[in-house]
Chains A and B, each alone.
Chain A
Amino acid sequence: MRYIAVLILLLAPLTGHAQDWEDQQVFGSPNPTSTLRILSSTDTSFFAPIIESFIVTRPDIEVHYFVTGTTELDDVFRNNADQFDVVISSAMDLQLKLANDGFAARLDGISHPEWAQWRDSLFAFTIEPAAIVINNAAFADLPIPATRQDLIEVLRENSEKFMGKVGTYDVRQSGLGYLFATQDARASETFWRLMEVIGSLDTQLYCCSGDMIDDLMTGRILVAYNVLGSYALARSETAETLTVIFPSEFPTTMMRSALVSNAASQPVMAEAFVNHLIQLQSEGEPRDFPFLSLAEFHGTIGRVSISLEPALLTYLDTLKRQTFIREWESAIIQER
């Protein structure tokens, strides 16, 4: 499916917009005077309240919300920067590279903490830690792992039970998965040992957190590593079935960020939308803003492990990426 998407992407300039979106929704007026196009990696359900509250005061606009994976989002936007006004992604590194490469417009009218924005063009509006999510039923008679080391031990000791039942991001497909993996690897050697263990259990690879949580619910997999905890917590029915664990030895966190395309056709509205997002974030009204606000994050988890700085470009380097993917593949996809 991904390859078709890439193929379509390559043909996109010829065929108009035959993009294969994960989701695509239109909000707002039936006869709009202008259209705001948002390209996002975040599920529509999360952004719907934010968009709804945005268009309340703007009855004559419509908002097109396109959802796709982080890596694909990067590709699509780089090739069609004028087709989108706002870009929202959880892959901080790709977002920062977009801004660094001059795709983002500078917004001078937005006040935001220095650490949560870059160059007045990339604005983080929520912080989310990566989580270990487990199926409660599978761990009924097992200790609940609190750290990565615990997880390694549990998996090793119960390799038969977990064979083929462990899921994680396919870092080759998912920009966010790649970001989590590289930052894990940067933080601790434990990551590689965990990858070796997961790899030996014939791991399932996913494009997205949503899919992983779906499979956890059905019991197709029992453990998922580096999942977005917010996706699991957001589903009311998961509470019984799943447990979300934030590893206690070191958190791997990412910031969801928004930028306005330098080639936006609605730059004023796009800036207004980003401003709206930032304001919702700081007001922290849970009904309209279903994410953890920056202030709340500081209250609970307390430390941002990935900061918005040019160093994020490091693992996007072709050579670095080749090396990392090769090592990751040799750990995860073990030829037996």
Chain B
Amino acid sequence: MTEDVVVLGSLRNRLVVILTGGAALLAIILFLFVRGYATLIAQQGQDSILSASVSSILDAAVLRDGNVELDFPYASFSMLNTSADDRVFYAIYADDVLLSGYEGLAVPQLQAGNEGTFASATYDGAQIRMASATRTLIGADMPRQISVTVAQTQDALSDTLNRISSNVALFGIGFFALATALSFWATSTTIGQLRRLTTAVTRRGPQDLSPFSKPVPSEMAPLVGSLNTLMLRLDHSLKQSEDFIAEAAHRVRTPLATVRSYAEATLQRVKNLENRNALRAMVRAIDESSRAAGQLLDHAMVTFRAENLNREDVDLVELLGDLVQRMTPIAEMREVTLKLDVREPTQMPGDPILLQNAFRNLIDNALKYAPSDTVITVHVHAAPTLSVSVKDQGAGFPADEIHKLAGRFVRGSDTRDQIGSGLGLTIAQDVAQAHGGKLILSNRPEGGACVTLQF
């Protein structure tokens, strides 16, 4: 049935994509955030050391006889020692004149009293971080502005950041893997509920329209509720139509019997050949209608009984012997021999009325299509599986229709001149299915049809 359903995407795939995609996005955000934060912290660390170095140099500045002296401590540069042996550059300016240090350090313009500024730049082909600060020395004649810049390459910083990055990346990948595993688990659990429901629906027999009683998650309750309501309505309308058909058949059969007896009586009295033929045709038509009504009733009965199957031990040999005996007169009328072939006593649990109905329909069918002077054999096999087959020596089933003959009101293309409703095989099939078996139609290699009820 699934091939008839329009499928658009998959819940599982959608869930997996959303969950793993979300996890990937989260992992990337986590990575970028932590890395960014680590960069900030590491940069702040370097900045504060550079700043300390700058202020230790600035603090040492004094004016002596109008000249700037800067006897800064050893620690000013010692504190800049890093594990990666970063290069150190510095420049000391007095009123924008380089007093000592490295030329070409891009020293920012500083205003007196500036707290200190930081900048990133490139110097001598290396990426550097600079800290600068300024201080005004008040001398005897005029104030002098001293500014100091200390710069350092960022090798240790980038080492640290790379280490943090790879750790965070590992963490992110781990997080992603875990989240993916979780999402697969969550998805399969969720989809599992749907699958269980699907299995429950699929496993049901064709007649089973009872509501689902197993517990389902609250999200699926509306679906199952709707499904139950739908099945209830379906069951209701099916029963209604079956009832209606049975009622109609019943109502038709009784007047038909009356009409037939009148027609028979009239046939005795009428001498005119033309009228007799007309009456015979009438009787025949009445027979056909009556038989159809009977089979409709049978079918309704089978449907009802199959739904509420009443199992008891049935002696198949006795049941079939009875049936064959009862039908032998009809067979003799058609000059057909009806044989029962039983090797051993066979019993099965089942509804004897249904089984009898099914076998009668099969034998009836065989009688209808068997030519004169042929044999119809009813075989009962106990092994390998219990089966009952009815074999005739007629024309067999048309090969191209064999698979659909068991459908309701389906009749073979070669049956125009036979009375029939197209329900016989359907009834047999319904009975077989109600007993957990199946109906197999085949043609015998030596000619003739073979219908098997396999339980």
> Among B69, B76, B125, which residue has its beta carbon within 8 angstroms of that of A102?
B125
Contact check, B88 vs A310: say whether CB atoms are below 8 A apart. Answer: yes
Contacts known (A311-B78, A320-B70, A323-B71); A102 close to B100, Cβ less than 8 A: no
| Nearest CB in chain B: distance from A181 CB, A | 14
| Nearest CB in chain A: distance from B319 CB, A | 99
> Among A186, A309, A310, A319, which residue has its beta carbon within 8 angstroms of that of B100?
A319
Contacts known (A311-B77, A311-B78); A319 close to B69, Cβ less than 8 A: yes
Contact check, B81 vs A310: say whether CB atoms are below 8 A apart. Answer: yes
Q: Is A57 an interface residue (CB 8 A)?
A: no
Q: Is A119 an interface residue (CB 8 A)?
A: yes
| Cβ proximity bits A291-316 to B, threshold 8 Å, 1 near / 0 not | 00000000000000000111111100
CB-based nearest B residue for A308: B85
> Among A310, A317, A318, A319, which residue has its beta carbon within 8 angstroms of that of B78?
A310
Looking at B80, B84, B88, B101, the one whose CB has the most chain A CB atoms below 10 A away is B88
CB-based nearest A residue for B75: A311
- On chain A, the residues within 8 Å of B92 by CB distance are 317, 319
Contacts known (A102-B125, A317-B101, A319-B99); A309 close to B69, Cβ less than 8 A: no
> Among A118, A186, A314, which residue has its beta carbon within 8 angstroms of that of B85?
A118
A238 to B78, CA, bound (A): 39
Contact check, A323 vs B69: say whether CB atoms are below 8 A apart. Answer: yes
Contacts known (A102-B125, A319-B92, A319-B99); A314 close to B72, Cβ less than 8 A: yes
Contacts known (A100-B87, A319-B99); A310 close to B80, Cβ less than 8 A: yes
Contact check, B124 vs A320: say whether CB atoms are below 8 A apart. Answer: no
Contact check, A314 vs B124: say whether CB atoms are below 8 A apart. Answer: no
Tell me what chain B mostly uses at the interface: helix, strand, loop, or mixed.
Answer: mixed
Tell me what chain A mostly uses at the interface: helix, strand, loop, or mixed.
Answer: helix
Contact check, B74 vs A310: say whether CB atoms are below 8 A apart. Answer: no
Contact check, A119 vs B85: say whether CB atoms are below 8 A apart. Answer: yes
| Nearest CB in chain B: distance from A244 CB, A | 28
| Cβ proximity bits B58-73 to A, threshold 8 Å, 1 near / 0 not | 0000000000111111
Q: Is A108 an interface residue (CB 8 A)?
A: no
CB-based nearest A residue for B78: A311
Contact check, A102 vs B87: say whether CB atoms are below 8 A apart. Answer: yes
Q: Is A101 an interface residue (CB 8 A)?
A: yes
CB-based nearest B residue for A119: B85
| Nearest CB in chain B: distance from A314 CB, A | 5
CB-based nearest B residue for A101: B124
A220 to B75, CA, bound (A): 40
| Nearest CB in chain A: distance from B384 CB, A | 81
CB-based nearest A residue for B85: A119
Contacts known (A102-B87, A317-B100, A319-B92); A186 close to B74, Cβ less than 8 A: yes
Contact check, B88 vs A314: say whether CB atoms are below 8 A apart. Answer: no
The size of the chain A interface, using a CB distance under 8 A, is 19
CB-based nearest A residue for B76: A314
The size of the chain B interface, using a CB distance under 8 A, is 27
A313 to B89, CA, bound (A): 9
Looking at B69, B87, B89, the one whose CB has the most chain A CB atoms below 10 A away is B87
| Nearest CB in chain A: distance from B33 CB, A | 33
A101 to B92, CA, bound (A): 17
| Nearest CB in chain B: distance from A101 CB, A | 7
A311 to B89, CA, bound (A): 11
| Nearest CB in chain B: distance from A117 CB, A | 8
- On chain B, the residues within 8 Å of A314 by CB distance are 72-74, 76-78
Contacts known (A102-B124, A118-B85, A313-B88); A318 close to B100, Cβ less than 8 A: yes
CB-based nearest B residue for A327: B71
> Among A310, A312, A319, which residue has its beta carbon within 8 angstroms of that of B70?
A319
Looking at B72, B73, B74, B126, the one whose CB has the most chain A CB atoms below 10 A away is B74
- On chain B, the residues within 8 Å of A311 by CB distance are 74-78, 80-81
| Nearest CB in chain A: distance from B144 CB, A | 14
A308 to B82, CA, bound (A): 11
40-73 of chain B: CB within 8 A of chain A: 68-73
A100 to B77, CA, bound (A): 12
Contacts known (A311-B74, A313-B77); A100 close to B100, Cβ less than 8 A: no
- On chain A, the residues within 8 Å of B90 by CB distance are 313
A323 to B74, CA, bound (A): 14
CB-based nearest B residue for A102: B124
Contact check, A318 vs B77: say whether CB atoms are below 8 A apart. Answer: no
- On chain A, the residues within 8 Å of B80 by CB distance are 310-311
| Nearest CB in chain A: distance from B78 CB, A | 4
Contact check, B72 vs A309: say whether CB atoms are below 8 A apart. Answer: no
- On chain A, the residues within 8 Å of B99 by CB distance are 318-319
A119 to B81, CA, bound (A): 11
- On chain B, the residues within 8 Å of A320 by CB distance are 70-72, 100
A314 to B77, CA, bound (A): 7
Q: What are 25 A-B pairs with beta-carbon distances under 8 A?
A: A100-B88, A120-B85, A309-B77, A309-B78, A309-B81, A310-B78, A310-B81, A310-B88, A311-B76, A311-B78, A311-B81, A312-B77, A313-B88, A314-B73, A314-B74, A317-B72, A317-B92, A317-B100, A318-B100, A319-B71, A319-B92, A319-B100, A320-B70, A320-B100, A323-B70
Closest 3 CB pairs of A and B: A318-B100, A311-B78, A119-B85
Add 6 more A-B contacts to A314-B77, A323-B69, A323-B70 (CB < 8 A). A100-B88, A102-B124, A309-B85, A311-B81, A319-B99, A319-B100
